[in-house]
Structure 1
Amino acid sequence: MRYIISFLLASTAPALAEVPRVMADLPPVHSLVAQVMGDLGQPELLLDKGANAHSFQMRPSQAAGLQEAGLVVWIGPEMTPWLDRALAGISGARQLRLLQAEATYRQGFGAEEGEAHDHDAGLAEDHAEEEAAAGHDHTGIDPHVWLDPANASAWLGLIAAELSALDPENAATYADNAARAQADLAVLDAEIASLLAPAKSTALVVYHDAYGYFAGHYGLTIAATLAEGDATGPGARHIAEVEALLNAGPACLFSEANHDPKLVTQLAEATGLTAAGLLDPEGAQLDPGAGLYGNLLRALGTTIADCTN
């Protein structure tokens, strides 16, 4: 009789909600989700270390994992079109598209750098056509939105809210983790701002147009980019213009992770400059995990400051 009662009690007890299975597209997004989840669980990163974020192909095991995911956190099809295609075949998958989130500050490619972003003024007008997914043309809205720490801070709260909706029993933990991560990010942001203050008068030449948000947030000037698109190499006239800019000085020339440094090396030799260092805007060469986002921002700030100082 005792066993029957125990069985009845067990069968009528409310089932505890499981921590949702979460998948993220890019290392910086994965890092932010990991900070919010904390010890409750680990999100899964879709993009392999060092892979191209625009043309990645998922493994069958990753595609199967998407079918079971409780939440997919990603920038959007403007950055990872391969994930958009995969999600199109999944009905009912809960998604958090960060680029389209109301709290996200957005701007177009080639937006003016050197001025602080006004996050209180609302979102930038989204009037441009979508990027061409295959070639990732540098027109339309710039999807490298994680490089603005103010966006990342807002996303921590959004991620906590999404996780809380799926797992209300742990809502307080998600909220506490997000608040702690936001506080840590605010401290790091102030440190980087101080570090980069002397760099505001220096022209920065980067490989491709990925740094508008970072430059705008910290008041830096991206004077030129080498590549005119991820699928388009620079022409001779453009290279000559960049070389003239570098000769005019003062300027810093940077290579970039996942891109051939040959052109940067040639320009450095032609102008007598030393290539300032390698920038990694997607964290492609960093170890994934909760600490990656802070390490990514710190590495960008330090590399730029080392040149300008």
Structure 2
Amino acid sequence: MFFVPRILRLFVVFTLAAALLPSAQAEVKVLASIKPLQLIAAAVQNGVGQPDVLLPPGASPHHYALRPSDVRKVAEADLLYWIGPDMEAFMAKPLQARGKPTVAVQNLPGLALRRFAEDAHSHEEDSDDHDHDHRPGSLDAHLWLASVNARVIAQRMATDLANADPANAARYQANAAAFSQRLDALDARIKARVAGVQGKPYFVFHEAFDYFEAAYGLHHAGVFAVAAEVQPGAQHVAAMRARLQEAGKTCVFSEPPVRPRLAETLTAGLPVKLAELDALGSFKNAPADGYETLLNNLADNLAGCLEAL
């Protein structure tokens, strides 16, 4: 009988002591709409937490349909980052019911933004085939493909995380600074990687790479902007093939996971290579250096195809 009261007394003492200790800060739940934003957040949260992403690999940010589980993620996230209505228009309505901090990164001060310009010589497209708004003067929302913009986004994330989790504020700021330094090295590496293919003509199926091209001295020769489910008419195909014949040896880049059905027909019998450029990042996880991998892969795939001609 002696041991029971003693054990109870010890239990009460330890329980009270634990209650008096400061509770550990719960991990801040960060949700990004698309993979590139998740990769930037992963660099900032490195060693503290792991951000989540809304869209699964291969999903289009232009016309995604939220599932019930996605709606719960949106409601529960402590911090949510999306590009904005010029990219993920489907998110505008669900976000109206959200009471926690939400950042449309396209509105951040300090970004180097681009707008689509009218260039009749470089486009072969049907207006009905566009899957989103590329009208002249509209915002080019693929802004994450410029490392200068990734720095701005990372710094905003570090500030938000420091406010939400003051105990780790110094770590978030240090991670953002380290990320910026790594991007300096990345920029130098990519400029050297693509230096030998600058001026070589190539074509894309989606005008998504202007930020990347502007940063590293590249420029596509044309955009075959056709939706994957639409088969253009014979006159349209003939016009696009004429552009490729004029270019000679060249590359035509599509984006994973689906290559447009038109690709094989368009390039049959021509000295043209088909390849992929992944603007969104098809990673199963979100490593701290994932954003650098995303841009490195773009440079390597683009230069590799053009060098092999």
Q: State the TM-score, normalizing by the size of structure 1.
A: 0.82
Shift of the 2–111 alpha-carbon distance from structure 1 to 2, 3 Å rule, reads farther
2:92 partner SS? helix
Change beyond 3 A, Cα 1:162–1:267: same
Match of residue 25, structure 1, among 27, 30, 33 = 33
Distance of aligned partners of 1:258 and 1:236 in 2 relative to their CA distance in 1, 3 Å threshold:
farther
User: Distance between the aligned counterparts of 2:46 and 2:94, measured in 1?
Assistant: 27
Q: Which residue of 1 aligns with 2:298?
A: 300
Change (3 A) 1:151 1:234: farther
Distance in 1, Cα, partners of 2:118 & 2:168: 40
Matched residue, 2:108: 101
Judged with a 3 Å threshold, the aligned counterparts in structure 2 of structure 1 residues 282 and 233 are, in CA distance, closer, same or farther, namely: farther
Q: Partner of 1:60 in structure 2?
A: 68
Partner letter of residue 163 of structure 1? L
CA distance, structure 1, for counterparts of residue 232 and residue 202 of structure 2: 17
In the TM superposition, residue 260 of structure 1 has moved relative to its aligned partner by 3.2
User: Per-residue displacement from partner, 1:95-144 (whole Å, max 9, x unpaired)?
Assistant: 122111112111112488xxxxxxxxxxxxxxxxxxxxx94121210110
The CA deviation at 1:271 is 2.6
Matches within 5 A, 1:27-176: 27-90=35-98, 92-110=99-117, 135-139=131-135, 140-176=138-174
Distance 1:297 1:2, change over 3 A: same
Moved more, 234-243 or 21-30: 234-243
Q: Assess if the C-alpha contact under 8 Å between 2:106 and 2:141 holds in 1.
A: yes
Query: How far does residue 86 in structure 1 lie from its aligned partner after superposition?
Result: 1.3
Please say which structure displays the higher CA radius of gyration: 2
Give me the whole-angstrom Cα distance separating, in 2, the residues matched to 1:222 and 1:229: 19
Q: Distance in 2 between matches of 1:136 and 1:292?
A: 27
Relative to structure 2, which stretch is displaced further, 50-59 or 214-223? 50-59
- The 1-side partners of 2:57 and 2:11 are apart by 52
Cα RMSD, aligned residues only = 2.7
Unaligned 5+ residue runs, structure 2? 1-8, 120-129
> 2: CA distance between counterparts of 1:111 and 1:292?
33
1:34 and 1:21 mapped to 2: Cα distance?
Answer: 12
1:289 correspondence with 2:281: no
Amino acid at match of 2:264: T
Q: Secondary structure at the match of 2:148?
A: helix
CA deviations over 1:6-62 (Å, ceiling 9, x no partner): 777765665554331110011110011011111211111111122122222222222
**What residue number does 1:120 align with?**
none
Aligned residues of 2:34 and 2:53 also touching (Cα < 8 A): yes
Q: 2:125 matched to which residue of 1?
A: none
TM-score by length of 2: 0.82
What is the alpha-carbon distance in structure 2 between the residues aligned to residue 252 and residue 185 of structure 1?
27
CA contact (8 A) 2:41 2:51 kept: yes
User: What's the CA shift for 1:77?
Assistant: 1.8
Paired residues, number:
286
Instruction: Give 3-state SS (helix, strand or coil) of 2:139's partner.
Output: coil
Matched, 1:252 2:259: no
Partner Cα distance (2:228, 2:141) in 1: 13
AA matched with 1:247: Q
CA distance in 2, matches of 1:110, 1:10: 63
